[in-house]
């Protein structure tokens, strides 16, 4: 049973470009969470999605950031017009159900904005 897959593992973008981060949850998992880890810090929650629904986006910046989890295919975290402050590790986690279930993390995508 493959774990949570994220790609790309490393992404370099210039200021103003778009970054698209992909996450494929573990087989049988229908809940996806995105977290951001700035250098030397813990992870911060961004958004929680189920298939075709955003359940909680309270940690997502209001502008430039969006997330989706379509019926078919991976979850996508999109960052438009990236700035240097977006440089971070972005982790995706999945769980079978939200409550009383462990979230298993992917390897992360390291975004570097030049």
Locate 52 and state its tokens.
Answer: 């075709």
58 lines the binding site for other proteins (CB under 8 A): yes
107 lines the binding site for other proteins (CB under 8 A): yes
44 lines the binding site for other proteins (CB under 8 A): yes
Instruction: Point out which span in 18-26, 33-41, 61-69, 72-80 binds other proteins (CB under 8 A).
Output: 33-41
- Of 13, 19, 25, 33, the one binding other proteins by CB under 8 A: 33
Do the Cβ atoms of 88 and 111 come closer than 8 Å?
Answer: yes
Binding site for other proteins (CB under 8 A): 31, 33, 35, 41-45, 48, 55-56, 58-59, 89, 91, 93, 95, 98-100, 102-108, 110
């Amino acid at each position: 049973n493959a774990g949570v897959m994220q790609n790309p593992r490393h992404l370099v973008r210039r200021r103003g470009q778009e970054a698209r981060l992909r996450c494929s949850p573990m087989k049988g998992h229908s809940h996806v969470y995105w977290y951001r880890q700035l250098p030397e810090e813990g992870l911060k929650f961004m958004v929680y999605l189920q298939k075709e629904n955003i359940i909680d986006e309270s940690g997502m910046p209001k502008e430039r950031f969006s997330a989706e989890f379509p019926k078919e295919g991976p979850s996508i975290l999109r960052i438009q017009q990236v700035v240097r402050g977006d440089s971070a590790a972005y982790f995706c986690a999945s769980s079978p159900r939200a409550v009383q279930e462990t979230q298993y993390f992917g390897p992360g995508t390291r975004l570097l904005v030049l």
